[in-house]
Structure 1
């Protein structure tokens, strides 16, 4: 589905990604794990087309989208959930869900969104600014599913949230996966990551140094937490 091939990226003279290659298949959840500054967010932005100082190739369903602008990638099914959530604070929950045009090929109907996110249904008339952090994160996920995204690029969706909300986000990601949605997930919470992901790519100094399955992560949890500085 998504192929990242030999991607390197810069901020000015500073090179932050070095020849990164990985794949995410249909209905697969893969994580990017690494310390702050390892290049995880930059890689998501390269995939979405919002970071242009890069070399290498990005393919979606075998189609080269390396030079495609972000709006074109969105129409093809890529959806970015940024770490700042990217919702419209002044608009209501329902306006956040209905204002963006449906871009992808398999949008979730509003009724299904509300069935999956009952907290949003209950607060559909509230502005984004009046939602809790967990509700804002759910709204950010709901918006890309409503828009028809088939592959979600999620940047730290559980950061700073209460355990009960983290558990609910895991349930939502697993449900999306069951419907064929793929996810490339930046995540520091290793235990959460193993409950939703199929594979884990360890980034260090802008390079993928290892790709691990869940059994590997559980066996080496102490070592990996030390590496992450957690």
Structure 2
């Protein structure tokens, strides 16, 4: 579904992503694991078309989208859940959910969103600014599912959240997968990643240094945590 082929990206004079190739299949959850500064967020931005200082090729849903602007990629069903969550703080929960256009790939109806995210249903009239960090993260996920994204680009969705919220986010990602939604997940929480992912790419200094299936990642957890400095 998503193919990134020999992508390199720069910030000014510094190369932060170097000749990276990866793929995410339909209904598959794949994680990018690496230390801070490894190039994970930049790679997601390249996939979404938000980082233009890049070379290589990006294909999504059978189309070459390398030169396509972000809004065209969104219409094809690519959805970004950024690390800053990107919600509209001045709008209500319901306005955040209904403002983005529905793009046609099995969009989740509002009733289903509220069934899946009961905390959002209870706060549907609250502004985004009045939500907790966990509720904001759930709103960011719910918004792209409501819009009909067929592949989620999730950047550190568990960072700074309580364990009970992390567990709930894992349940939501698994439910989305069951309904055919694919995920490319940037995550430093390796233990969380192994509860949701099928495969993992280990990124170091802008390069993919290893690709592992989930069984290998579980078996080598101690080694990988040492690599991450955790």
TM-score under structure 2 length normalisation: 0.99
Partner Cα separation in structure 2 for residue 223 and residue 134 of structure 1: 30
Mapped contact 1:104–1:150 kept (Cα < 8 A):
no
Which ranges in structure 1 are unaligned for 5 or more consecutive residues? none
Q: Are the aligned partners of 1:2 and 1:58 in contact in 2 as well (CA < 8 Å)?
A: yes
Matched positions, count: 230
Determine the structure 1 residue equivalent to 2:140. 140
Distance 1:159 1:168 in 2: 13
Q: Secondary structure at the match of 1:6?
A: strand
1:4-51 deviation line (CA, Å, top 9, x unaligned):
000000011111111100000010000000000000000000000000
Give runs of aligned pairs for residues 68-107 of structure 1, distance below 5 A. Answer: 68-107=68-107
Distance 1:169 1:31 in 2: 15
User: Structure 2: where are the runs of 5+ without partners?
Assistant: none
Q: Deviations over 1:124-180 (max 9, x none)?
A: 000001101000000000000011100000000000000000000000000000000
| TM superposition shift of 1:221 | 1.0
Deviations 1:178-228 (CA, angstroms, capped at 9, x unpaired): 000000000111111011000000000100010111111111111111111
Q: Which runs of 4+ in 1 moved over 6 A?
A: none
| Separation in 1, partners of 2:70, 2:199 | 26
Q: State the secondary structure of the residue aligned to 2:105.
A: coil
Q: TM-score under structure 1 normalisation?
A: 0.99
Q: Does 1:8 align with 2:15?
A: no
Tell whether the 8 Å contact from 1:30 to 1:185 is kept in structure 2 after alignment.
yes
Cα RMSD, aligned residues only? 0.7
Assess if the C-alpha contact under 8 Å between 2:34 and 2:204 holds in 1. Answer: yes
What CA distance in whole angstroms lies between the structure 1 residues aligned with 2:212 and 2:228? 15
Cα distance 1:8–1:175, how it changes in 2: closer, same or farther (>3 A)? same
Does the CA-based 8 Å contact 2:61-2:76 persist in structure 1? no
Say if 1:97 and 1:142, in contact at 8 Å, map to a contact too. Answer: yes
